[in-house]
Amino acid sequence: MAEEVVIAVDAMGGDDAPDVVLAGVAEALAHDATLRVELVGPKDVVEPFACATERCEARIATEVISMSEHPANAVKAKKDSSIVVGCNLVKSGEADGFFSAGSTGACLAAATLNIGRIKGVKRPALGVVIPAYQRPCLLMDVGANADCKPEYLRQFAIMGSIYMKQTHGIRSPRIGLLNIGEEETKGSLLAQEAYRLLSEGVSGFAGNCEGKGLLQGDFDVVVTDGFSGNICLKTIEGTAKMLFSYVKDALMATPLSKVGALLVRGNLAKLKGRINPDAFGATPLIGVKGVCMIGHGSSSATAIKNGVLASAREARAGVIKALTEAIQDDMNATKEGM
């Protein structure tokens, strides 16, 4: 039986909160018998649900941060918001992790300010595990840091490698640098300098990864700045969505193809399910002193369920401890090398 873990869940996060959040939490609890949830939100939302649900406790937070508020300002002003209260539960050790489908910016700010960074981490980053061909690939940063320095990317590589080791059991992750060519002299000044840092002392670094290579399954971790990473992630989503519409149109174009469509429908639906962002549910914020996962604003109950379960898996996998050690080792090695 899996180790017991406690995940704090933001009841008010997401476009369809709290209803889909409660439904997702119920599904997650039913799926994982040693999971406990601290449900954070207004009294009238969290108390009735917690009373009626096993392994779920209510944590009252009187305020809510909306998607449109300025993240850092809102986190500072609303100390009793569900996002801030949830992060504080991780900080105090009452929860092993925090999950929210609310404002990404507010979660980033609250986690960084309230949970705090792992010692030595320059910038925590958002990762997303992409369903590349025949193996998963962690792309980071996908939006926490729009402007990056080369040394941030170097640290993303170290952290991403540990993350994939701990959560996916990959022994020696292959690390790539997102770039616009395969040769080391290619790319922006940031990419060129990051290449140099990565090749000089990050174990597992395997070279540049082009946008078209990301999904080919050549790498376990691909690092980039939060601007390019977010563009890349959203482009994958947008392209997949458009192609599925096109495929649907093509299948419905003629009477004969309609008959064929009936026969292939089941398999295509399975494929769509496999590459559906809902199946992943959440993106980890990597580099803070606690598990923190952020879901899509448009999360369905299934996405919430998967996000909560992923948070529990991450907490059980001992990611934070491993990250803390790796960053410390790297700092020691860099000091010795100087």
Q: What residues line the site for its own copies (CB under 8 A)?
A: 132-133, 143, 146-147, 178, 180, 186-189, 191, 210-216, 224-228, 230-247, 249-251, 253-254, 256-257, 259-264, 266-268, 270-271, 275
CB closer to its own copies out of 138 and 312: 138
Nearer to its own copies, 254 or 328 (CB): 254
**Cβ contacts of 166-174, under 8 Å, gap ≥ 24:** 166/317, 166/318, 166/319, 166/322, 167/313, 167/314, 167/317, 167/319, 168/129, 168/136, 168/220, 170/220, 172/203, 172/204, 173/204, 173/220, 173/221, 174/204, 174/206, 174/218, 174/219, 174/220, 174/221
* CB 338 to its own copies: min, Å: 29
Residue placing its CB nearer to its own copies in the complex, 2 or 262: 262
For residue 202, give the DSSP letter: -
How buried is residue 137: exposed, middle or buried, by Cβ count under 10 Å (0-12/13-18/19+)?
A: buried
Min dist. Cβ of residue 151 to its own copies (A):
17
In whole angstroms, give the CA distance from residue 270 to residue 216.
20
Report in angstroms how near the CB of residue 186 gets to its own copies at its nearest. 8
Contact between 181 and 210 (Cβ < 8 Å): yes
Nearest CA among 75, 62, 3, 60 for reference residue 33: 3
Nearer to its own copies, 18 or 71 (CB): 71
Backbone angles phi, psi at 283, to 5 degrees: -115, 130
Cβ closest to its own copies, residue 145 vs residue 311: 145
User: Shortest distance, CB of residue 332 to its own copies, whole angstroms?
Assistant: 33
Looking at beta carbons only, is 271 or 279 nearer to its own copies? 271
| Residue 189 beta carbon to its own copies: minimum distance, rounded to whole angstroms | 6
| Smallest gap from residue 129 Cβ to its own copies (A) | 16
